[in-house]
Amino acid sequence: MDHDERHSPAPITRTVLLDQSLPAPLPVQRVEARRIVIAPDTAGGLHVHNGPVFGCVEAGSVVYQIDGEPETVLTAGDTFYEPAGVRIARFDALGSGVTFLAYFLLAAGQQAELEFPER
């Protein structure tokens, strides 16, 4: 082994992107993963999930805001967490649209549901 091989970077790196505590223990029986695409300049609308959702933006950008908290612009590689039963005020695709992976933590027999409440 020559000098360069001993100091080359490791062929695999692992980086924690999100380490989110949940408000209470969950009886998770399965995880459903979805690739979701939102067209450019489309507002996702105020919504609430029936279980926690974790996600990662693959491409594009989106304005993300939990009701009552500051908005954030997420771009490729950014992660997010939408708690169960919490109002998500904005998940609005910007000019390039957005593609993201969403992971729904579900109990036995539970289906991922999305509610669009009135303001």
How many domains is the chain partitioned into structurally?
Answer: 1
Calpha distance 68→72 (Å, rounded) = 12
* pLDDT tens figures, 44-98: 999 999 999 999 999 999 999 999 999 999 999 999 999 999 999 999 999 999 9
This prediction has a pTM of 0.87
| Containing structural domain, residue 107 | 27-115
Asked, for residue 49, whether it belongs to a domain, the answer is: yes
For residue range 9-45, what is the model confidence (pLDDT) as tens digits?
Answer: 889 999 999 999 999 999 999 999 999 999 999 999 9
Whether 62 is covered by a domain: the verdict is yes
Strand partners, 103: 33, 54
Say if 21 falls within a structural domain: no
* Residue 8 within any structural domain of the chain: no
The enclosing domain of 50 has a CATH number of: 2.60.120.10
19 domain-assigned:
no
